[in-house]
Amino acid sequence: MPGTSAVRAGRYAVIDLGTVTCRMLVADVDACGALSEIRREYAIVNLGEGVDASGRLAADAIERAARTIGGYLSTLQGIDDANGVSSTVVAVATSAARDAANKDELIARLAQEGVELRIIPGEAEARLSFSGASMDFSGEDLLVVDVGGGSTEIVAGRGGQAPSRSCSFNVGCRRMTERFLKGDPPTADELQRAEAWVECEMAPYFNELRADGFSWSRLIAVAGTATTVVSVHEAMERYDSAKVHGYEVSSEVLSSEGDRLAALPLAQRRQVVGLDPDRAPVIVAGFAILSKVLALAGVDSYTASETDILQGVALAIARDEMP
């Protein structure tokens, strides 16, 4: 988190292995803690497929993750060789790996690719996401929301400072889909039961925040669910991160796009412009979770952010503050 720690300037490659996606950020961090992006990579690997029910990572899911990360490392080597630098590589895994009884198999497989995987607790995930998401909003009272495949992190604090309160919920778009949304398309009853589950899990936390005097002037939402709302609404044939970052999404837009996608069978949902076809199976759940978070927070919009846990980890490593 931002603070007084000395910064080790250099090039950092951060790999985030989530329940649905696997991403890499290559960035330079200078001696003042400013971050300059060099390259991003993104793939949907569905590491957490079936974990909610089985408690185990599937062998093919582990292999998908390993192949993807191996490809990232090859890309990184090319970047380093071209620039005459040597990147510090940090790989973190979140909800699916935390939940899996056989997480050691994943760690061992990635070690074969030359990667030391850190499985971080939900509290650390929340803190690191807040660090990245709040970079552009120093001094503002913020609520940062990260809807993932297996968990959702909600963090309250002031931009530029350590967060004041955080919570990681075992509520994510893949977990919700596998538990509740069996129909194709999902039925109204399935969606109602799924939304009631989210409210039951999260409402006490929001009640506690308000009881303790917390308030927020802005809700920032990070990660694939939040940014996909923008790309779908704008019908982006090619994803434009510069346009997505800082985009203000109203609750009405979120609700209407969620209703539109929920009404489509999966085969048609995969064809929607702006939606990664591989994200289509879980996107209805993601939109439903984010809509419920806005309602519980009492806000009518959110700010989409392209900075998140990737930037948070890079800064934490540079400051020697990783958990």
pLDDT at residue 5 greater than cutoff 80: no
* Residue 162 clears pLDDT 90, i.e. is over it: no
The model's pLDDT over 9-51, given as tens digits with 9 standing for 90+, comes to 999 999 999 989 999 999 999 988 889 999 999 999 999 888 8
pLDDT at position 225, please? 95
The residue assigned the tokens 């996401």 is: 129
* CA-only gyration radius of the chain, Å: 19
For residues 306 and 262, what is the distance between their CA atoms, to the nearest angstrom? 25
**According to the CATH classification, is domain 131-305 in 3.40.50.450?**
no
For 230-238, the CB contacts below 8 A with 24+ separation are: 230/304, 231/274, 231/275, 232/257, 232/261, 232/272, 232/273, 232/274, 232/275, 233/257, 233/274, 234/274, 235/273, 235/274, 236/273, 236/274, 237/273, 237/274
Q: Which residues pair with 155 in a beta bridge?
A: 144, 166
pLDDT, greater one: 289 or 5: 289
Give counts: helices (H), strands (E), the chain: 13, 11
Which pLDDT band holds residue 188 (cuts at 50, 70, 90)? very high
Domain with CATH 3.30.420.40 in the chain: 10-122
The CATH T-level fold of domain 10-122 is Nucleotidyltransferase; domain 5 (3.30.420)
- Position 1 scores a pLDDT of 44
Residues of the chain with CATH 3.30.420.150: 131-305
pLDDT tens by residue, 98-157: 889 999 999 999 999 999 999 998 888 888 989 999 988 999 999 999 999 889 999 999
Other CB atoms within a 10 A radius of the CB of residue 234 amount to: 15
pLDDT of residue 3: 47
Which residues are CB-neighbours of 306 under 8 A, at least 6 positions away?
222, 227, 241, 244, 245
Strands of the sheet with 248-250, listed across from one edge: 165-169, 152-158, 141-147, 218-222, 301-305, 248-250
> Which of 217, 207, 100 is CA-nearest to residue 150?
100
| Tokens read off for 289 | 């979770």
Nearest by Cα to 275 from 308, 228, 315: 228
CB 202 within 8 A of CB 154: yes
pLDDT digits over 193-248, tens only? 999 999 999 999 999 999 999 999 999 999 899 999 999 999 999 999 999 999 99
pLDDT of residue 274: 97
Going by the DSSP 8-state scheme, the letter that residue 186 receives in this structure is: P
pLDDT tens-digit map of 268-281: 999 999 999 999 99
Which residues on adjacent β-strands are paired with residue 302? 249
Q: Which of 283, 276, 282, 275 is nearest to 234 (CA)?
A: 275
